[in-house]
């Protein structure tokens, strides 16, 4: 694009497009992306960047997988739309494939986004209990720092003030517990000598709330969008065990961790836990088309077989499980199998985690955490106080990376804007050289900003 044309696009963007999440000043100067290839994107000026965030943690197969486009095209030409009040072949194929990937037997409810997948899970959980004679079970326990989506209940389940501020009051019935955040243990303990208070707190909270009022616990295997908070290995199993004891369903949000990002097919596979409900989105289509799924353990579906009035799940979604999106998702999973991309993500994750070790010594790096092929680097003002690095410092690091041709992310938690965790979550097709460039860019940018 010529400079004048680019300027015109920018002016039109400034006039008409409302950017997600961006403060006004930042939204004035967006990267207008016009092309993608492998792990790289090209902006309207011809600048090329390695996208170390896979868009929003989703473009796992990279930006130029023609087979995905072709799978969607073929389906659009054959049969572009029919609602899932009935059925179609791509939905059946995908539901079967998801079962194979999950390694259990699940009924699959399709929607369009991670938020909707979680909304669906909450309604299902409540109705399940109601139909089994426990209509009082309606509350959902989630964690501070977690992100579960932008819509009513999904945002209520979210545990980040910065996402909720000025939109409250939200849906009632969402109770939060502290996260398993060893670097800043909310219980003042140290892992190794603690009693996993972060897990046992669920039991305490269930007792305080009244166990007969709790429908479900929702958690990501690892809190991703709230600062890459990796729990102790036995944490999830312990929470599962508490849920079992109290008759509470465990919903695992695999929107980011699913489909290989964790180094296994699903994040919970790393922890030896069987969820009751699994929600997924993003990587299911490698981000190419909107699609999400709520997988419900087949044994739970028994409660929805009754012919009594209102016994079926009265939830409909015009676009959920769109045939082209389902066909594309099937091809995504097939490609991951054919090219062994889950294994590749695992290996790349190990390489990334090893390459980031030296950065941990930097005085402004408080903690480096990784899980599968994603990493978080927590920036601090100093190692002693662990007080979060100021926003200006974090932004300087991001800008330094961008100048070096690498896009990384940031997240965290509190108002106003203490997003002090750098995030890295590259496409699985990234080359070793590109991965080295990512690590080098981040390392140099941190040193430069200090
Ligand atoms: N759950 C998790 C863990 C997420 O990271 C996100 C989005 O980032 C969501 C749910 C919501 O997904 P969506 O943006 O597709 O609605």
Summarised one tens digit per residue, pLDDT across range 66-84 is 999 999 999 999 999 999 9
Whats the size of the chain, residue-wise?
450
Mean per-residue pLDDT of the chain: 97
Mean pLDDT within 2-13: 95
pLDDT digits over 236-282, tens only?
Answer: 999 999 999 999 999 999 999 999 999 999 999 999 999 999 999 99
Q: Residue 279's CB: how many other CB atoms inside 10 A? A: 32
pLDDT digits over 373-423, tens only?
Answer: 999 999 999 999 999 999 999 999 999 999 999 999 999 875 555 799 999
- Write down the pLDDT at residue 307: 86
DSSP string, 207-232: HHH-GGGEEEEEE-SSB-TTT-BPPP
Q: Residue 361's CB: how many other CB atoms inside 10 A? A: 9
- Write down the pLDDT at residue 415: 54
- Among 120, 81, 377, smallest CA distance to 255 is for 120
Annotation: CATH topology of 67-338: 3.40.640
Domain ranges of the chain: 31-64+340-449, 67-338
**Which residue has tokens 């999400």?**
292
Maximal CA-CA distance, the chain: 67
Q: Would the ipTM clear 0.90, i.e. be above it?
A: yes
Most informative mutation of 110, 118, 147 for ligand 1 (most atoms within 8 A of CB): 147
- Pocket lining: 255 vs ligand 1, CB cutoff 6 Å: yes
Most informative mutation of 53, 55, 113, 114 for ligand 1 (most atoms within 8 A of CB): 114
Is this model's pTM higher than 0.90 or not?
yes
pLDDT digits over 287-308, tens only?
Answer: 999 999 999 999 999 999 988 8
- CATH number for the domain whose boundaries are 31-64+340-449: 3.90.1150.10
Q: Angle formed by the axes of helices 341-355 and 323-338, to 10°?
A: 70
**How far apart (Å, rounded) are the C-alpha atoms in residues 27 and 43?**
15
Residue of minimum CA distance from atom 1 in ligand 1 = 148
- Write down the pLDDT at residue 430: 98
Q: In the numeric block, which tokens belong to residue 319?
A: 């676009």
Most informative mutation of 117, 281, 325 for ligand 1 (most atoms within 8 A of CB): 281
- Is the confidence at residue 60, as pLDDT, over 70? yes
- Pocket lining: 264 vs ligand 1, CB cutoff 6 Å: no
In the reported structure, the alpha carbon of residue 326 is separated from the centroid of ligand 1 by a whole-number distance in angstroms of 19
Q: In the numeric block, which tokens belong to residue 62?
A: 């990279």
């Amino acid at each position: 694009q010529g400079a004048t044309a680019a300027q015109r696009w920018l002016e039109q963007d400034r006039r008409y497009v409302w950017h997600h999440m961006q403060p006004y000043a930042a939204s004035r100067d967006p990267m207008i992306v016009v092309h993608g290839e492998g792990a790289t994107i090209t902006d309207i000026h011809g600048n090329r960047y390695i996208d170390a965030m896979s868009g929003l943690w989703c473009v796992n197969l990279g930006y130029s997988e023609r087979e995905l486009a072709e799978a969607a095209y073929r389906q659009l030409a054959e049969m572009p739309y029919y609602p899932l009040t009935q059925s179609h072949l791509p939905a059946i194929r995908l539901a079967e494939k998801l079962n194979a990937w999950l390694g259990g037997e699940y009924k699959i409810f399709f929607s369009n986004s991670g938020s909707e997948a979680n909304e669906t899970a909450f309604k299902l959980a409540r109705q399940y209990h109601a139909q089994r004679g426990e209509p009082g079970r309606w509350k959902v326990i989630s964690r501070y720092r977690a992100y579960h989506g932008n819509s009513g209940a999904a945002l209520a389940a979210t545990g980040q003030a910065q996402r909720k501020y000025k939109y409250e009051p939200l849906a009632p019935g969402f109770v939060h517990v502290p996260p398993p955040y060893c670097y800043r243990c909310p219980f003042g303990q140290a892992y190794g000598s603690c009693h996993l208070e972060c897990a046992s707190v669920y039991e305490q909270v269930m007792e305080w709330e009244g166990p007969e009022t709790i429908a479900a616990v929702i958690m990501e295997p690892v809190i991703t969008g709230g600062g890459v908070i990796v729990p102790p290995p036995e944490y999830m199993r312990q929470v599962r065990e508490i849920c079992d004891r109290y008759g509470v369903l465990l919903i695992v949000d695999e929107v980011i961790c699913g489909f290989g990002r964790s180094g296994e097919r699903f994040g919970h596979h790393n922890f030896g836990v069987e969820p009751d409900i699994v929600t997924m989105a993003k990587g299911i289509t490698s981000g190419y088309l909107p699609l999400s799924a709520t997988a419900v353990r087949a044994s739970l579906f028994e409660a929805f077989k009754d012919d009594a009035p209102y016994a079926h799940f009265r939830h409909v979604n015009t676009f959920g499980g769109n045939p082209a999106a389902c066909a594309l998702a099937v091809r995504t999973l097939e490609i991951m199998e054919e090219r062994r991309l889950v294994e590749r993500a695992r290996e790349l994750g190990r390489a990334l985690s090893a390459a980031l070790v030296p950065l941990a010594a930097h005085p402004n790096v408080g903690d480096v955490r990784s899980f599968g092929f994603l990493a978080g680097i927590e920036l601090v003002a100093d190692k002693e106080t662990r007080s979060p690095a100021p926003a200006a410092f974090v932004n300087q690091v991001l800008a330094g990376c961008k100048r070096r041709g690498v896009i990384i992310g940031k997240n965290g938690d509190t108002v106003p804007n203490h997003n002090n965790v750098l995030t890295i979550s590259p496409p699985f097709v990234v080359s070793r050289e590109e991965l080295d460039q990512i690590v080098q860019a981040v390392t140099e940018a941190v040193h430069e900003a200090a």
